[in-house]
Structure formats: C-alpha cells, structure tokens
Structure 1
Amino acid sequence: MSRQMRLVLLSLVTGIVLMLIKFVAYFITESNAIFSDAAESIVNIAASGFAYYSIYLAAQPKDLNHPYGHGKVEFFSVFVEGALIFIAGSVILVKAIYNIFFPQPVANVEEGMLLIFITSLINFGVGFYLIKRGRALRSLTIEADGKHLQIDAYSSIGLIVGLFIMKLTKLPWIDLALSIVLGFFILYNGYKLLRKSISGLMDESDQEVIDEVVAILKDKRKTEWIDVHNLRVQRYGQELHIDCHLTLPNYYDLSQVHDSISDFDQILNANLESKTEFFIHADPCLPECCHYCAVEDCPIRSEEFKKHIEWTSVNVTKNMKHFRKA
C-alpha cells in the first residue's frame, strides 16, 4: 500500500469514528447545530472513500488510452468532495429553516459540547498531518482532505462557543442561528473546492509551479540557453508536464542540441520536487537575439552582447522570443 493510500485510509477511519461520536452528541442533545456538524462528517467519509480510490487510480502506469497517466483523477476527486460538501451545506440549511417553523428543545448541552470538543481536537490534528504530508508528496487529494478536516475542526469550535453562549443566555434560537451560519460556511468551502478542481481540469496555470520553475532556470542558467519562452505547466496528480521553447545557437549540430535539451531536462528534474516530463522545442537563434546572448566566440554574432534579459513568470510564458533590447 502506497504512502498516499495509507494517509487517505487514516482520514477514512478517523471520519467514521468521529461521525459516530457526533451523532451520539446529536441524539442526546437534539441540537440542530450539532446535527449540522454530524451531517458534514458523512461527507468526510464519502469523500475519503472516493479519495482512496482516486489515489489508487492515479498511481496506475500510463497506457495507450491514458498517455499522460491517470493523475487528473485527483482533480475529479476534489470536485466530488466539493460537490458533497455543497450538498451537505444545503441539507443543513433546509433542516435549519424547517426547525424555525417546527422548533425542538435542546437538552444535555454540556455532554454534547464535550463530545464535539473531542472530535475537533482529533480533526485538527489529523488534518494538520494530512496537509503537511500532502504538500510533501505533492498530492492535491490528500491536501484537500486535510483542509476539509481542519475546516470541520474550526466549525466545531465555533459550534461549541455558540452552544456555550446559548447555555448562558437561555436563548434557544442561538442553536438555529449557529446551524444556519455553519450551513453557509460549509457551502462556501464546498464552492472553493469545486473552483479549485475545475481550474485543474481546465488546465488553468499553476502560478506557484511556474514561479518555482522560473526560479530554478534563473539560478541554473547556462550560457547556451539563449532564450526560454512559451513555457506551459500542467499537473497530472503528483506529476508535472512542462513544455517550452528553448533557443540555442543555430550552428549547433543535432548532437549538441540533444545534449543541451537533456541537460535542461535533468537540471529541472533534479531541483523540482515533483516528477516532471518535458516536451522541449529547440529554436535556432536569430540575429535579433545577439544583444542578450552571452555565448563566447560565436562565429555568427551580428551584435555585441549587452545584457541578459531577466527571465520572469511573465516573459517566459509568452509565445515569442525576447527581442526587446535592454
């Protein structure tokens, strides 16, 4: 069993145990707010179950039908989790509105608060661990699962504070107000996960990764790398696919071009935390490149070298050579 699958299994088992505790708290208190918290736990379990399968599928090797691998399923997993959270928030709001017209008394508040406090501590601890490991493993699914658990912990703490205020003030409507606030909070977080998954499925640029790639290129820049442009990054689960245009001296023979591209590939792969596949298009240099080309003893130079063009996440992503003079 892979590290990712063990982490998701931890989330799944934690979710089942905490869901049972929360429903016990609901049955002894009849609190709408606690029901809201317990209902979201069902979503945690369903989401972790799907995440477990998606991690398994994402780890499968490339095949004829999936030449880029199966990593995109992680974005779909996050989409399912976001959709389930959104549904849970809607159910919570519907029940809260129903109880405005058909109220029910709340009992055993202290016992319910204690049980919810225990679940919030466990949720926060497991969520913190999953986020840390998810970032280290570059797994969007595990990181999303950890954030979901921490969000659950924050909402539980807010719930406890609200129930405590209700106990002090003897105002029963506070329970309903808490339930409605939690419902909207859950809806908002569901929307954020949906937005993140759709951006991944639509291959929206990952600015953080682009910045990381550009920083490595600037630090490891070689003289023969005259120009880099049209840089694009796609994430497939834990793997990255990067394509770009690399301008090399136009008098290089095929072996020299191959060696330069291989060097470019190896340097980036050695410094990026994710396994990366490159598609590099080699461009020959043009006379307009001479003013920022630092290649020494160039036999075809038409203009003296003046200054390197600073590579940034803005200019390396444009589909054009950097002809502008310094």
Structure 2
Amino acid sequence: MTLQKRATIISSSVAVTLVVIKLIVGIISGSVAVLASAIDSGLDLAVSLFNLFAVSNAEKPADETFNYGRGKIEAIAAVVEGLVITLSGFFIFYEAIQKMLHQEPVTHLSASIVVMVISLVMTGALVLFLNHVANITQNMVIKSDALHYKTDLLSNGSILVSLVVIYFTDFYLIDAILGILIAIYIVYSAFELIQDGILVLLDASLDEDIVEKIKEVIENEPGVNDYHWLRTRKAGNDYFVDVHLVFTPEMSLLEAHRIADNVEAKIKTINPKADWLINIHLDPYDDSEVNVEESQKFANIEA
C-alpha cells in the first residue's frame, strides 16, 4: 500500500471518530458550533473516502484507454473537495445566523469542551501527518486533504474558545460570532484549492520557476543550437515536458540522441520527487515557422 493511500485511510478513520463524538455531544448540548463541526467532519469523511478512490485510480498505470494515465483524477478530487469545503462554510454561516437570531442557550458545556479538546488533538496530529505525506509525495489530493483538515483545526480551536468563554461569562453570542468568522475563513480557504485543481485540468504550465530552470538546462547544454515549442503541464505527480531541440545538420543522430538524453536527465533533477515524462524532438534546423504554417493549413482544412 502506498503512503498516500494509507494517508487517506487514516484521515477517513479520524473523520468517522470525530463525527460520532461531535454529533452526540452537539445534539445533547445544543451548541451550533459543535453541531456545525460535526457536519463538517461528516463532509470530511465523504471527501476522504472520495480521495481514497481518487488516489487508488490515479495510481493505475497508463493503458489503451488512458494513454497518459489517470493523474488528473487528483485535480478533480481537489476541485470537488474545494466545493465541499465551500458548501460547508455556507452551512455553518447559515446556522450561526440562526443561532444569533434565536439566542438558543448552550448546555452541557463541560462535555462540549472535552469533545472539542479531543477533536483539536486528533485533527492537529492528522494535519501534521498529512503535511508530512504531502511533502514526500507531492500528491495534490493529500495537499488538499491537509488544507481541509487545517481549516478544521482552526475551526475546532475557535469553537473551543467560544465554549470556554460561554462557560465563564455566559456570553452565548460568541458561539454565533465565531461560527460566522469560521464560515468566512473556510470559504476563503477553498478558493485556492479549487483554482489549483482547475489549472491542472486546463493543462496549465508548470510553475514559472520550474520552466525557467528547464530553459536554463537546455540553453547551457553543449551541442544544442536552439530550441522551440517548449510546453509543460502536470497531472498528479507526473510532469510533462515537450520540446524541439535544434542541432547542426551534420551531427549524427546518435550524437544528437546522446545530448537529448543529457538534457532529459538534467531536467529530472529539478524535482526528483516528480515523475517526469519528457518528449524531445530532434531537429537538424529550426523548423518552428514551417510547423506553424503546416498547423495553420491543417486547421483551415478542419474548419
């Protein structure tokens, strides 16, 4: 079992435990913050199960149907998770407004505080673990899960603060106020998650610093006169690079191939954690203009 798959199973198990505890105490105490946190943990469970499905399928090798593998499933999972986080934020906001309007008291404060402390400890440990796995694997699903539970960590901390304040001051409005603030933060944090997933689905290029390093490798390689049509993208942990390298017409194919292998090997050192799929086209002269003309002719025929 891979590390990322193990991480999704652990996050699902933690979510199940937290849902049960928070739901029981939330119903008994009447705390909107605890109930909102229970709903959020339920969504965490659904998302973690979906992430397990996504990771399992993304790891499958390329086949006749999916020639480039299924790495983009991770991006789909990130978008779905971002949308779920956004919906949970709206729900918490709604519940907090209702709580503010009706001024319902919170009971069983001691039990609520205990359960939130337990939740805080478990979520904190899970975030540390997921961040560790994300740093090792560079997996988008795990990064999304880590961000998701990080928002939970802040949420749980805020809820704990509200319960303590109510316990000592009877200022019940703090429950609704913090609920609103938590909801705003959750929706805000989901935006970047959705954006990153969409960029991958739209085949956005690799980060600018990585692209610049690729260009530097090519430009500093002896024997390469020029290059064109450099294109990059990513899917999951797969980094795709396509480029045309220009050599002198007199150079043998064997020598040009050797130089291309050197370029490929150096590019892979830019991020050793990534799985690089590099396609290098060998040109005896700069044919970029000719290729553009041919592409335009083909486009006109298709139209």
Q: TM-score range by the shorter chain?
A: 0.7 to 0.9
Q: Percent identity?
A: 25
Q: Helix, strand or coil: the match of 1:70?
A: coil
> Does 1:154 find its partner at 2:143?
no
Distance 2:32 2:169 in 1: 17
The one-letter amino acid paired with 2:10 is L
Q: Which runs of 5+ in 1 are unaligned?
A: 287-326
How far the C-alpha of 1:182 sits from its partner, in A, is 1.4
Note if contact 1:43-1:81 (Cα within 8 Å) is conserved in structure 2: no
The structure having more radius of gyration, on CA atoms, is: 1
Question: Against the structure 1 CA distance between its residues 216 and 116, is the aligned structure 2 distance closer, same or farther, given a 3 Å change threshold?
Answer: farther
Residue in structure 2 matched with residue 252 of structure 1 by the alignment: 251
Note if contact 2:78-2:144 (Cα within 8 Å) is conserved in structure 1: yes
Greater helix share, structure number: 2
The one-letter amino acid paired with 1:3 is L
Question: Against the structure 1 CA distance between its residues 96 and 283, is the aligned structure 2 distance closer, same or farther, given a 3 Å change threshold?
Answer: same
Distance 1:212 1:168 in 2: 57
Q: Which runs of 5+ in 2 are unaligned?
A: 287-303
Distance 1:228 1:163 in 2: 63
Q: For residues 239-276 of structure 1, what are the alpha-carbon distances to aligned partners after superposition, in whole Å with 9 as ceiling and x for unaligned?
A: 11111232333321222222221222233335532111
Note if contact 2:21-2:115 (Cα within 8 Å) is conserved in structure 1: yes
The one-letter amino acid paired with 2:90 is S
How far the C-alpha of 1:110 sits from its partner, in A, is 2.8
Q: For residues 116-143 of structure 1, what are the alpha-carbon distances to aligned partners after superposition, in whole Å with 9 as ceiling and x for unaligned?
A: 1221121111111112212211211012
Residue in structure 2 matched with residue 182 of structure 1 by the alignment: 182
Note if contact 1:231-1:245 (Cα within 8 Å) is conserved in structure 2: yes
Question: Against the structure 1 CA distance between its residues 113 and 154, is the aligned structure 2 distance closer, same or farther, given a 3 Å change threshold?
Answer: same
Distance 2:5 2:146 in 1: 14
Residue in structure 2 matched with residue 37 of structure 1 by the alignment: 37
How far the C-alpha of 1:215 sits from its partner, in A, is 8.5
Note if contact 1:25-1:116 (Cα within 8 Å) is conserved in structure 2: no
Distance 1:193 1:269 in 2: 26
The one-letter amino acid paired with 1:47 is V
How many corresponding residue pairs? 285
> Does 1:60 find its partner at 2:92?
no
Runs of 4+ displaced beyond 4 Å: none
> Does 1:85 find its partner at 2:85?
yes
Q: Helix, strand or coil: the match of 1:65?
A: coil
Note if contact 1:85-1:187 (Cα within 8 Å) is conserved in structure 2: yes
Question: Against the structure 1 CA distance between its residues 229 and 201, is the aligned structure 2 distance closer, same or farther, given a 3 Å change threshold?
Answer: same
Distance 2:139 2:209 in 1: 14
Q: For residues 193-225 of structure 1, what are the alpha-carbon distances to aligned partners after superposition, in whole Å with 9 as ceiling and x for unaligned?
A: 21221111112233166258438728x943223
How far the C-alpha of 1:284 sits from its partner, in A, is 4.0
How far the C-alpha of 1:32 sits from its partner, in A, is 1.0
